[in-house]
Amino acid sequence: MATFNAQSTAAQVLDGHDLTGKTVFITGGASGIGQETARAMAAKGAHVVIAARNQEKMDEALAAIQSDTGSDKVETIMLDLASLDSVRACADAANQRLAKIDLLINNAGVMACPLSRTADGFEMQFGTNHLGHFLLTSRLMPLIEKGHNKRIVILSSRAHHMAPSNLDDPNFENTDYDPWVSYGQSKTANALFSVGLERRFADKGIHAYAVHPGGIATNLSRHLTEEQSAQLLKRVQDKDADFAWKSIEQGAATSCWAATAPDIEGEGGVYCEDCHVATMDDASQTGGVRSYALNQDYAEKLWSLSEELVGEAFAS
């Protein structure tokens, strides 16, 4: 087995893989590490579906990927994760257009935005990063069940270290809002979602992996002021003196690794970073996964709450 690390790129991780015949559905694939994940997989022959909320940006990404890879098997589909109606419409369109989904990569997200609400009244980060993906995954499950070597990759973050999910007040209705606490809670929810998926679908050959892509300078940080960006960098460097920003190519590597690595076949419900499965560690400041982010009881409570909030049971 090849050994990869924090410096590995998506192209290196996928070297030797043939994704011909695979259908890959990527949220947030119009920019950043989502676009690079799409490009790297298209270069290996995958049929790639990019889902995002801005058609113009998707068209630009599509043209760039086609130009770089020569692939004619890349398409787009509209998706606004901050609207459950949009999520349902996206899933309906996907079920009409696609025969199957082999790899679902829940890549899109928002980070540290000012307090705002989704179209359905949820706090923006929890609503977009978790609830939108929860409903989308549910509605796409019939297609995933038809796939082969089926995997669901969910982008979490080391920011889950900041806070466990507040399941009593996830929408900050009775709690003072802090953008970083909210972001951390949503990233914990992403990891817990992978645990819940693994528990329910592993026996169908569907496995889920939470991923920390690393620190990458992308438009995810568009809501940060220069002062906030500087404070964030200092906070990270105070905890990890060896911290270095990753390139976008390196940032997409762990998503590609979790989606394809043979050595984790059949072993989902885990948290991955730097192209390996992270160890559980409640003290480390420089890596690892907090135990609360993989806790089965928390995952079940979040699952029940998510079904209640989106107003429908998860597909099975």
Examine residue 63 and state whether it is found in any structural domain, yes or no: yes
The residue assigned the tokens 């998510």 is 306
Expressed in percent and rounded to 5, the helix, strand and coil fractions of the chain are 45, 15, 40
User: Of these residues, 177, 183, 209, 271, which one is catalytic?
Assistant: 177
CA distances from 246 to 14, 15, 33, 229, 274 (A): 18, 19, 11, 16, 10
CA distances from 270 to 85, 273, 280 (A): 30, 10, 10
Tell me how crowded residue 48 is: count the other CB atoms within 10 A of its CB: 30
Residue 123 lies in a domain: yes
**pLDDT value at residue 285:** 83
pLDDT in tens, 101-145: 999 999 999 999 999 999 999 999 999 999 999 999 999 999 999
- Domain-located, residue 35: yes
Q: Is residue 4 part of a domain?
A: no
DSSP 36-100: HHHHHHHTTT-EEEEEES-HHHHHHHHHHHHHHH--S-EEEEE--TT-HHHHHHHHHHHHHH-S-
Q: Would 133 be classed as within a structural domain?
A: yes
Q: What gap in Å lies between CA 194 and CA 261, rounded to an integer?
A: 17
Q: Rounded to whole angstroms, how far apart are CA atoms 185 and 189?
A: 6
Nearest-Å Rg of the Cα atoms of the chain is: 18
Residue 283 belongs to domain with CATH number: 3.40.50.720
d(CA 128, CA 81): 5
User: Considering the domain boundaries, does residue 85 fall inside one?
Assistant: yes
Rounded Cα distance, 295 and 180, in Å: 22
For strand 47-52 and strand 151-155, is the pairing parallel, antiparallel, or unpaired? unpaired
* 152-181 residues labelled b (16+ CB within 10 A) or e (exposed): bbbbbbbbbbbbbbbeeebbbeeeeeebbb
At residue 65, φ and ψ (nearest 5 deg) are -65, -45
Is 3 inside a domain boundary? no
Domain of 107, in residue numbers: 10-309
Q: Given this model, what pLDDT does residue 241 score?
A: 61
The tally of domains found in the chain comes to 1
Do 112 and 85 meet the contact criterion of CB atoms below 8 Å apart?
no
Residue 2 falls within a domain, yes or no?
Answer: no
The residue type found at 68 is D
pLDDT at 245: 76
- Among this protein's residues, is 271 annotated catalytic? no
Question: What average pLDDT values come out for the chain (316 residues) when binned by 10 residues?
Answer: 89 98 98 97 98 98 98 98 98 98 98 96 98 98 98 97 96 97 97 98 98 79 57 59 81 98 96 97 92 98 98 94
d(CA 219, CA 222): 5
> How crowded is the C-beta side of 143, counted as CA atoms within 13 Å?
24
* CA 236 and chain centroid, separation: 21
